[in-house]
Amino acid sequence: MNVSITFRHMDHTPTLDQTIREKSEKFKKWFSNITTVHWTCWVDGTDHCSEVTLHAGPQAYFAKAHADDLYKTFDLIVTKIKNQLE
């Protein structure tokens, strides 16, 4: 699984990078054939935002979240991807 991360208008920290990679590992529970996972994170005023595009075989999945804390958006995205499978 190839994980790429883009940060816009914010600093890239090792802690953020590690957290995103850990959240990406959760996708392996639901997908056996993930090829790429691309995260984009940014700040819009006081709103923290993130989105993910995940490719698993011929399928692509997308989720986007906004919250007052960037780490909350990661959990929201994982839940949204899971909900797309139900």
**35-74 residue pLDDT tens:** 999 999 999 999 999 999 999 989 999 999 999 999 999 9
Query: What type of residue is 23?
Result: K
| Rounded Cα gap, residues 40 and 6, in angstroms | 5
Taking phi first (over 0 means left), then psi (-120 to 50 degrees means alpha), and beta for anything else, what does residue 29 get?
A: alpha
pTM: 0.92
Ranges of each domain in the chain: 2-85
- Among 22, 21, 31, 17, which residue's Cα sits nearest to residue 61? 31
Class of domain 2-85: alpha beta
What is the pLDDT, as a whole number, of residue 39? 98
pLDDT for res 9: 86
Residue with tokens 């890239």: 12
Residue 32 pLDDT: 86
